[in-house]
Amino acid sequence: MRWVVGLALAVLGNAAASAREISWDELYAAGETLYQQHAYLEAASVAEAALRMADATFGTTDLKTAQTLVLLGNAHLGRRQLSRTLHYYQRALAILEYRLGPTHPQVSDVLLLLARYHLLAGSPKQAEALCERALMIRAGALGARHPQTAKTLAVLAECYVGQQAWQRAIDTYDRALAIAAAAHPADEEEVGWMRRRIATLAAAQEQATPLISHPPLLLQRLDAPAISAPAAAEPAPTIDAPASSGASANPAALGAPRGSLPLARGSGESTPLGAMATSFEERAVAMLQIGNASEARNLFRQAVEICEKRLGPTHPETLATLERYRRFLQHAGRPSETEALSTAPPHSIADQ
């Protein structure tokens, strides 16, 4: 596979050579490999070449063209090119509905990808409508107790979270949990994080705390890539703010967990305080995803203030949250604020 990836990258600048030296299957496989390796820019370039070849070889409404469009949409989603992502997903959906019919299971795969897009774009109501349609298709095709139906319910629950519809989110997660726990064999890891997510939502509901879904950390666990791709979890995209924002930050650099639920740091338990402070950090990272570094800064400050008021300025969780805020300021290009935060003695951040 390495030589295929290398060849694909080498011939990208020459469409004619590409057509002679490498097939669509090889181009697609190379693009998928690059995507799985989080090389989103290169994956997008290879997928664009594969799309040109698919359009010319198979036609603009062929299923292989739809498959390529999904890969290209995934790659651009990883790069946070949201407008381009939407175009490719919508075109893929139109092809699948035309070729397979509106109730085919592969249609539900792209509906869920579109739902993820809308969650990332801050449109949970639109995501909800897409999830409901995907749920109807999957429950009808696979059965109401199928694990894939449970995954769809979990995405739907996150749509309710994005709308602050606490009880609907909890009830929907409860339905998903019941199906996942009854599977043979049950996926214990998935069952465990669903239980922890329900606990986090219950705590947020009790405290009347704002909390939003965090697709990069959650949704890659809820469904597999669509359209004839291997049944493997989608990797969490790197979060890069657009160049115009003056910031380039990713969850690892900010100390955010990858591939796990955003609960209290370093703990498998959720607490009301942890849920409250974490929710502001989730929202901060979500703001980074759409290039709003200023709002991300304000939300990080609120997370720190919550910890300071409830736990005190020297509590370990307060200090850990403060360190993540310091890293954010550093990556956001705010050296004076970073230095002030690093050198000042423990005190309320509200005094700064």
Q: Are residues 86 and 118 in the same domain?
A: no
Q: Are residues 215 and 313 in the same domain?
A: no
Taking residue 102's Cβ as centre, other Cβ atoms within 10 Å add up to 13
Taking residue 141's Cβ as centre, other Cβ atoms within 10 Å add up to 16
Q: Are residues 160 and 276 in the same domain?
A: no
Token pair recorded at residue 77: 């989603």
Q: What is the pLDDT of residues 143-167, one digit of tens each?
A: 999 999 999 999 999 999 989 898 9
Residue the block writes with tokens 């809820």: 222
Q: Are residues 285 and 317 in the same domain?
A: yes
Which residue from 307, 155, 280 is spatially nearest to 209, judged by alpha carbons? 280
Q: Are residues 89 and 38 in the same domain?
A: yes
User: 306 pLDDT exceeds 70?
Assistant: yes
User: pLDDT band for position 244 (50/70/90)?
Assistant: very low
pLDDT score for 292: 67
pLDDT score for 308: 79
Q: Are residues 127 and 183 in the same domain?
A: yes
- Mean pLDDT of the region 247-275: 34
User: 137 pLDDT exceeds 50?
Assistant: yes
Token pair recorded at residue 206: 């009790």
Domain that holds residue 158: 102-237
Q: Given phi > 0 = left and psi -120 to 50 = alpha, else beta, which region is 95?
A: alpha
Q: What is the pLDDT of residues 74-126, one digit of tens each?
A: 999 888 888 889 999 999 999 999 999 999 999 999 999 999 899 888 899 99
Taking residue 314's Cβ as centre, other Cβ atoms within 10 Å add up to 11
pLDDT score for 270: 35
Q: Are residues 129 and 249 in the same domain?
A: no
Q: Are residues 166 and 207 in the same domain?
A: yes
CATH number of the domain enclosing 177: 1.25.40.10
pLDDT score for 342: 60
Q: What is the pLDDT of residues 4-19, one digit of tens each?
A: 555 555 555 554 444 4
Q: Helix, strand, coil shares of the chain as percentages rounded to 5? A: 70, 0, 30
Q: What is the pLDDT of residues 327-339, one digit of tens each?
A: 777 777 777 776 6
Distance CA 242, CA 179 (A): 40
pLDDT score for 21: 72
Which residue from 115, 112, 120 is spatially nearest to 78, judged by alpha carbons? 120
DSSP 259: S
SS3 185: coil
Token pair recorded at residue 321: 């949250």
pLDDT score for 171: 96
pLDDT score for 152: 94
Q: Are residues 213 and 274 in the same domain?
A: no
Looking at 237, 271, 294, which one is the last position of a domain? 237
Distance CA 23, CA 29 (A): 10
- Report how many domains make up the chain: 3
Distance CA 130, CA 128 (A): 5
pLDDT score for 305: 82
CB 120 within 8 A of CB 215: yes
